[in-house]
Structures are given as C-alpha cells and as structure tokens.
C-alpha cells in the first residue's frame, strides 16, 4: 500500500518485482525489449512512444520510423500494455472541422488524459522542429491543434491538470538540428491555445557529466504528495556521439517551475545490448509512465537506441526517498 500517488488505481499495469541481484531504484523488465526491428509492415522501428490506460486496456501513440526513414505517429491498442496491435497506417490528423491537417513528420509523442479527453504532444514540423498538440477521444480520430510554441522546440509535456487555473506545458527550446544545448522551460495557458508567462525550470550541467550537454522532460508528470514527479533525459556528448540517460526531479506542486529535488546521478543509462546497439547507439529516452496509485507501482516506457521499446519499473516511495537523499539542485 502507498498513499503517495494522487491518481487512479490501475492494478492491471505491467509489473515485475525487482530482481534479487539488483540494488537500483529502477529495474528493467526481464522481457525487454517489448518491440524490436520491423514490428509492422510500414515501420522499421517503433520507439520513444506513449501509452495510457484506455477502456479496459491501454492505448498508445507510437513513434514509428517508416522505411523511408521518416518519423510518423501510429495509434495502437493493448490489453496488457506489453503486447501491442498497431493500425496499419499512420495517424491522419484532421482539423476541428474534420478536414485533413497533415504534418510532414512527427516524433517523440507524450499522451495524457485531461478533463475527459486525451491530449498528445509531439515534435512537429512548423518549418522546423516545434511542439505539436492534438486531441482524441477514441484513438481513431485525431485532431491536430495549433502549435503552442514557436520553433525550434522539442519535448513538449503537458501537466495532467490545471495548476492555479492554468494549463502548464514543459518544453525544451532547441535549434533546427541535433541540438548541442537545452534546458527545460514552462509556459502557461488559460485555454490550451494561447501560451505565455514562460519561466525557466532547470538546466543542463551540475557536477554529473551525464546531463552536462542538454536535458528534456520525459513522460507526463505524476502528481504525488511530495510534488510532481518528472522523469527526464540527460545527455552527455562523447567522442562517439550523444549518450541519453534518465534522471528524475520533484517539482513544487503549486509552482512546478520550482525544482525541489533532482537526481545527482542518472537512474538508468544505456547498458543492455538493446540500449547500446541499434540505429542510434546509447539512447534511453523515456516518453510515458503508467502508475497504480494504490500500490505505488510505476512502469516507465522508454525508447532504446532509437530502435526498441523497453519498460522499466520503480516503486514511488522508494524512488522519492532516493531522489531526496541523492539530490543536487542547480
């Protein structure tokens, strides 16, 4: 029992106890990766994807790189959030009147439920990378809304409820390429259309090199009695390219621009063959989490090596204690 997560009881989320030989605060699913090369005819790789409870099972929006190399989003469904069935074709976005509203590429989706419907954020093309925002009620019809922020920007993540009467969106301003910098900012909106009052939340750097180059928000924040629990990715530049690891922060519940605690060390880094080897080696990129409020169990979904989809587990009380006791806020 845990009373720490403020949210739904979802006893059917994937779960596996920590292996007896593991002392880490996060542990990997023994059947990782759950998706491998060429998972469906139209996709070479499905990774960096978002899943959410839906009906009596789960739904998801998946980053699928097609065989021409272009990133697109596909809709999928599952009974157990491990075995997925995907639509054969990418999501066809429409506008509010049902007219086609396509985008030339889309990647790294996040999905959340907000006020009775589902919202999707992703990296969209607004003459260069920017934040996309869309909504669906049934994971069949997807309405593409206006882009909340100007290019260039990535890693847009909405909060799952209004805070002080405003919608809140994390983002990571960037450049048009493989950005060699990046800090997390927050913006607010009265209506999910007009965004402003931008504030800095947290930057790359600190004593640990693993997050020295850039950082970006990961899955939708989880509301807890200690604050908003947010997983994020931290990047270091090496002589062989970028390495993406996972950290976590606790943000103030009423003012999430305030960082209360932040992991000094990474809590997951590419170690397993499916994380160190693939289309882009050495990437662990979290985009979704499922939780069960009653037990405090959390399943984290992350893309591995821009090729695979993998799952890791943690227990909220242990994780929050770990973050508090191993924190470096800068």
In the block, residue with structure tokens 């509301």? 223
Contact 95, 143 (CB under 8 A): yes
CB-based closest residue to ligand BMA: 280
- Identify any residues that bridge with 176 across adjacent strands, giving them in sequence order: none
CB-wise, 65 or 226, nearer to ligand BMA? 65
The answer to whether residue 108 forms part of the interface with ligand BMA (CB under 6 A) is: yes
From candidates 285, 291, 301, 313, binder to ligand BMA by CB under 6 A: 285
Considering only residues 244 to 263 of the shown chain, the ones binding ligand BMA according to CB under 6 A are 244
Instruction: Please say which residue, 13 or 215, places its beta carbon nearer to ligand BMA.
Output: 215
Straight-line distance from the first to the last Cα atom of the chain, in angstroms, rounded to the nearest whole number = 33
Interface with ligand BMA, residue 114, by CB under 6 A: no
| Size, binding site for ligand BMA by CB under 6 A | 10
84-92, 181-189, 221-229, 279-287 -> range binding ligand BMA (CB under 6 A): 279-287
DSSP label at 307? T
Please pick, from the candidates 230, 306, 309, 319, the single residue that binds ligand BMA as defined by CB under 6 A. Answer: 306
Q: Is 288 in the site for ligand BMA (CB under 6 A)?
A: no
- DSSP state letters, 64-125: EE-TTS-EEEEEEEESSSSS-EE-SS---EE-TTS-B---S-EEEEEEEEETTEEEEEEEEE
* Among the listed residues 283, 304, 320, 323, the single contact to ligand BMA using CB under 6 A: 283
- Contacting residues toward ligand BMA, per CB under 6 A: 48, 107-108, 178, 244, 280, 283, 285, 303, 306
């Amino acid at each position: 029992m845990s009373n720490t997560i403020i949210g739904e009881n979802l006893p059917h989320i994937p779960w596996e106890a920590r292996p007896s030989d593991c002392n880490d605060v996060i542990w990997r699913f023994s059947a990782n990766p759950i998706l491998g090369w060429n998972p469906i005819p139209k996709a070479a790789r499905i990774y960096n994807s978002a899943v959410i409870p839906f009906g009596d099972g789960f739904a998801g929006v998946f980053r699928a790189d097609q065989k021409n190399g272009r990133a697109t989003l596909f809709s999928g469904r599952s009974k157990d959030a491990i075995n997925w069935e995907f639509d054969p074709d990418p999501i066809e976005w429409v506008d509010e009147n049902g007219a086609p509203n396509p985008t030339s590429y889309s990647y790294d989706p996040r999905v959340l439920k907000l006020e009775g419907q589902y919202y999707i954020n992703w990296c969209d093309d607004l003459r260069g990378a920017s934040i996309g925002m869309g909504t669906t009620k049934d994971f069949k019809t997807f309405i593409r809304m206006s882009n909340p922020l100007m290019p260039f920007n990535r890693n847009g993540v909405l909060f799952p409820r209004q805070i002080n009467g405003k919608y809140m969106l994390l983002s990571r301003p960037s450049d048009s390429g493989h950005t060699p910098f990046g800090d997390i900012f927050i913006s607010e909106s009265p209506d999910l259309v007009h965004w402003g009052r931008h504030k800095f939340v947290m930057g790359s750097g600190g004593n640990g090199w693993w997050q020295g180059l850039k950082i970006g928000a990961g899955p939708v924040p989880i509301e807890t009695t200690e604050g908003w629990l947010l997983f994020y990715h931290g990047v270091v530049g090496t002589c062989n390219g970028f390495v993406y690891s996972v950290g976590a922060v606790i943000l103030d519940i009423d003012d999430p621009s305030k960082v209360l605690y932040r992991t000094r060390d990474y809590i997951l880094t590419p170690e397993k063959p499916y994380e160190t080897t693939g289309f882009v080696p050495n990437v662990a990129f979290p985009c979704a989490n499922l939780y069960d409020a009653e037990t405090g169990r959390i399943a984290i979904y992350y893309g591995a090596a821009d090729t695979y989809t993998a799952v890791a587990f943690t227990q909220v009380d242990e994780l929050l204690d770990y973050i508090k006791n191993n924190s470096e806020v800068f």
